[in-house]
Structure 1
Amino acid sequence: MSEVVSFKVKREIKQKMELYRTEVNWSEELRGFVEQKIAEIEAKKGVNKILQELKDADWGFQKGISSQLTREDRDADS
Structure 2
Amino acid sequence: MAVISVRIPDKLKAKMKEYDINWSEEIRAFIVLRINEEEKRRTIEMMHELLAGGTPAKEGTAKRYVREDRDSN
TM-score interval, normalised by the smaller of the two chains: 0.7 to 0.9
**Inter-partner Cα distance in structure 2 for 1:45 and 1:60:** 25
CA–CA distance in structure 1, aligned partners of residues 23 and 57 of structure 2: 55
CA shift, 1:59, in A, is: 4.0
Identity across the alignment (%)? 28
Q: Aligned partners of 1:32 and 1:18: how far apart in 2?
A: 19
TM-score by length of 2: 0.72
Deviant stretches of 4+, over 4 Å: none
Aligned pairs (5 A) from 1:1-78? 2-20=1-19, 23-59=20-56
SS of the equivalent of 2:38 reads helix
Query: 1:19, CA displacement in angstroms?
Result: 2.0
* Distance in structure 1 (CA, Å) of the matches to 2:9 and 2:45: 36
- The TM-score with structure 1 as length reference comes to 0.68
- Over the aligned positions, Cα root-mean-square deviation in angstroms equals 1.8
Query: Unaligned stretches of 5+ in structure 1?
Result: 67-78
**In the comparison of the two structures, how many residue pairs are matched?**
60
C-alpha distance in 1 between matches for 2:2 and 2:30: 16
Name structure 2 gaps, 5 residues minimum: 61-73
Mapped to 2, the partners of 1:25 and 1:60 lie a distance apart of 53
Superposed displacement of residue 58, structure 1: 2.9
